[in-house]
Amino acid sequence: MKQVEERILSLRKELHEHNYNYYVLDEPTISDYDFDQRLRELASLEKAHPTFYDPNSPTLRVGGSVTKDFPTIVHEFPMYSLDNAYDEEELYDWEKRIFKLLGTDSVTYSCELKYDGASISLIYNNGVLVRAVTRGDGVQGDDVTQNIRTIPTVPLQLRGNYKDRFSIRGEIILPIQGFHDMNKTREENGEEPYRNPRNTASGSLKLQDSALVAARPLQCFLYQMIAARPLFSTQMESLDAARNYGFNVPQNNKHASSISEVIDYITYWNKERTNLPYEIDGVVIKVNDISHQEELGYTSKSPRWAIAYKFKAESIYTTLQSIHFQVGRTGAVTPVANLEPVHLGGSIVKRASLHNADHIEKLDLYINDRVAIEKGGEIIPKITSVDKTKRSPNAVKVKYITHCPDCDTELIRIEGEADHYCPNVDACPTQITARIQHFISRKAMDIDGLGNETIELLYRQRLLHSYADLYTLTYNQLIPLDRLADKSVNNILKAVEDSKEIPFERVLFALGIRYVGQTVAKKLAVHFGSIDAISVATEETLIDVDEIGTRIAQSVVTFFSSLSNQHIIDRLKTYGLQLERDQDLDQSLSNKLSGQRFVISGVFSTYSRNEIQKLIEDHGGKVSSSLSSKTTFLLAGENMGPKKRVKANELNIKILSENDFLIMI
Ligand code: AMP
Ligand code: ZN
């Protein structure tokens, strides 16, 4: 037995090494035939001795597991997006902000390519891959470990002198050649070709059968190591280390000691990118020094220490055929351009977004115009200009609608806002069904099984007039609908029942109050604690909440002043939905620091900056990034920039040492 175990372990080790040589280094040291022989031997030993099962065995690269639902995982460290720069000036502005925040003017950068795929977070414990999670909404993503294991450039077992526990972020990409090969096979099989490498890569992560993932020529490029405390002193160093651990870190990153060197890098790659075997959509520039990164921290959306320089999008001319006006769940009207289909950036474009009436006016659009379209970061391209020389003399100017395309109510425009609205909130069919669709969506009440068509059907049959009606649906009402079988009806009823356990903040989001997205809903839920408290809040008390402005405040007040909304909420109460915040969720330790605003600077010995920030918040204090008259304390660690100290003194802000702070809490 001992011998078998030893043989299994040694084969695994050897095969991991060959995988690395082949896929990462591109320098195989063994023939394919010999590799296959060893893999077979290992597979048969594992089969005969299942006690030695290891989820990270090289034999499992071929996939075969089936995942029905990918569990949601909250990221230990949020997966932020990146701020964008589109020209050199914006890069210099970014540098200025950094200099100011750091109180220094010597910063160097790590320049990296911005790989265009799907982002992934890999978690390693003691050198072994334990989990792979998609970015999702940045706060939580899907556990796609089984699928990721099949990608040969993802190391299952690290090499060398690795750190015990860390996350590493990267991009799953599909090289262009691999993409074309896949499409060739599909076309031969009479299947619809995939649209572009990025969407195909990202779609691969959620395939249920991991053998299908294994069959796709996916790769994983890594670019960021993350841990509670900094593991390295510079970004460049961490990339080198990651390379030594066996990760696939492309070699084209470069150190730059000024923005002008950054610009050289950008200029080079803007031209050279067409020769790369994979797609990039820009360059990412990161502050190299990790203590600087820590000092700069994050905004709610992105790190302050990194910026993405986006390459100019491709653009092409096509004909504007017509304009379609859509009404959303809040009554907002969005105009969409129907275009003569054209190829752009690897996909076929048929539609473009037009935002609002002002935008259309500014473009001066006529039907049948030749329009230039461009694909930015968004999936739907936009119209950037019109070729007026190609306009026919009797062309008709685009007219914005005055009445709702659905219920024919006259549209209104709120002072200071760009959008038109259908004010018929309580009776406009599209708004009603769209609100219900939003209510049951995954991030809201997560009631599965009711498709858009079923909802429209139920609405037409007068069974569903508001989301409150979901809770009175019965088996006998649902079963006659043609699409629904016995099992689906029971699933729907169960999902409705289960949704009564969905926490308050998500219920609040589900209500579909204009401008109240997930983040705002959470803020309101934490601050007010219950629907009753929110419903009587005034504009003033709402604005008191962090990050809530007049626009959101007014919208909340309007929502709760509507009699029909009040009625719906009363009904939701009787059905037993969570309309109060579960107190157990409040993990705040004390209120000792309530009302105090901190700025954190420098490096600390007992805690990392993130931990310190969390401590302050858990004790009721607030952390901001720059000193102002509102700051109560400057919490100074080691190596704080001298300019900060001067500024704090000028503003009469008390400076605390790490020790002072720990005593304080
Ligand atoms: P965006 O989605 O436009 O906000 O850009 C952020 C995304 O860029 C991240 O989530 C990553 O998936 C991706 N990305 C690609 N290459 C890099 C890189 N070298 N460093 C950081 N992010 C990158
Ligand atoms: Zn309407």
- Is 72 within a domain? no
**Ligand 1 mean position to 120 CA, how many Å?**
10
Is 58 within 8 Å of 30 (Cβ atoms)? no
* 267 and 364, same domain (yes or no): no
Question: Would you say residue 661 has pLDDT above 90?
Answer: no
Mean pLDDT of 622-626: 84
CATH at 14:
1.10.287.610
Q: Say how far apart CA 39 and CA 166 lie, in whole Å.
A: 29
Beta strands across the sheet bearing 254-256: 83-85, 306-310, 280-287, 109-115, 254-256
CATH at 183:
3.30.470.30
**Ligand 1 mean position to 346 CA, how many Å?**
20
Could you tell me the pLDDT band of residue 211, with boundaries at 50, 70 and 90? Answer: confident
Flag the least confident range among 220-224, 420-424, 598-602. 598-602
Q: Whose CA is nearest to atom 16 of ligand 1?
A: 114
Residues in the chain, how many?
665
pLDDT of residue 190: 57
pLDDT of residue 314: 72
Nearest CA among 585, 564, 459, 472 for reference residue 511: 564
pLDDT of residue 585: 55
Q: Whose CA is nearest to atom 11 of ligand 1?
A: 119
pLDDT of residue 365: 95
Mean pLDDT of 187-213: 82
* pTM score of the predicted model: 0.54
CATH at 622:
3.40.50.10190
254 alpha carbon, closest ligand: 1
- Is 409 within a domain? no
Could you tell me the pLDDT band of residue 592, with boundaries at 50, 70 and 90? Answer: confident
> Domains in the chain: how many in total?
6
Give residue for tokens 């990790």: 290
Query: Beta-strand (E) ranges in 128-233?
Result: 128-134, 140-142, 165-173, 219-226
Nearest CA among 131, 81, 123 for reference residue 227: 123
* 113 and 208, same domain (yes or no): yes
* 233 and 351, same domain (yes or no): no
- Is 404 within a domain? no
Substitution site in 198, 221, 223 for ligand 1 pocket (most atoms within 8 Å of beta carbon): 223
**Ligand 2 mean position to 409 CA, how many Å?**
6
* 618 and 550, same domain (yes or no): no
- pLDDT tens digits for range 439-495: 998 889 999 888 888 899 899 989 999 999 999 999 998 888 876 788 889 999 999
- Is 77 within a domain? no
Q: Are strands 412-413 and 382-387 parallel, antiparallel or unpaired?
A: unpaired
Which CA distances in Å does 518 have to 46, 293, 300? 46, 28, 13
* 251 and 279, same domain (yes or no): yes
pLDDT of residue 588: 58
* 135 and 150, same domain (yes or no): yes
Q: Say how far apart CA 507 and CA 521 lie, in whole Å.
A: 9
* 184 and 252, same domain (yes or no): yes
Is 557 within 8 Å of 506 (Cβ atoms)? no
* 31 and 103, same domain (yes or no): no
- Is 197 within a domain? yes
Substitution site in 77, 79, 81, 82 for ligand 1 pocket (most atoms within 8 Å of beta carbon): 82
Question: Would you say residue 189 has pLDDT above 70?
Answer: no
pLDDT of residue 292: 96
H or E element, residue 12: helix 2-19
Of 268, 292, 310, the last residue of a domain is: 310
* 434 and 577, same domain (yes or no): no
Flag the least confident range among 277-281, 295-299, 544-548. 544-548
**Ligand 1 mean position to 380 CA, how many Å?**
19
**Ligand 2 mean position to 557 CA, how many Å?**
22
Active-site option among 47, 96, 100, 114: 114
Could you tell me the pLDDT band of residue 378, with boundaries at 50, 70 and 90? Answer: very low
84 alpha carbon, closest ligand: 1
Which atom of ligand 1 lies closest to the CA of 310? 3
Mean pLDDT of 498-506: 94
Question: Would you say residue 329 has pLDDT above 90?
Answer: no
Token duo for residue 391: 């306009």
- Is 185 within a domain? yes
pLDDT of residue 662: 81
pLDDT of residue 191: 65
- pLDDT tens digits for range 86-120: 899 999 999 999 999 999 988 999 999 999 999 99
CATH at 334:
2.40.50.140
Q: Whose CA is nearest to atom 17 of ligand 1?
A: 114
Of 527, 557, 584, the last residue of a domain is: 584
- Which residues are near ligand 1 (CB < 6 Å)? 81-82, 112, 114-115, 119, 135, 171, 223-224, 284, 308, 377
- Is 305 within a domain? yes
* 111 and 233, same domain (yes or no): yes
* 435 and 355, same domain (yes or no): no
**What is the residue range of 349's domain?**
315-390
**Mean pLDDT value across the chain:** 89
pLDDT of residue 377: 42
Catalytic residue list contains 523: no
Of 460, 484, 501, the last residue of a domain is: 501
* 221 and 103, same domain (yes or no): yes
pLDDT of residue 275: 82
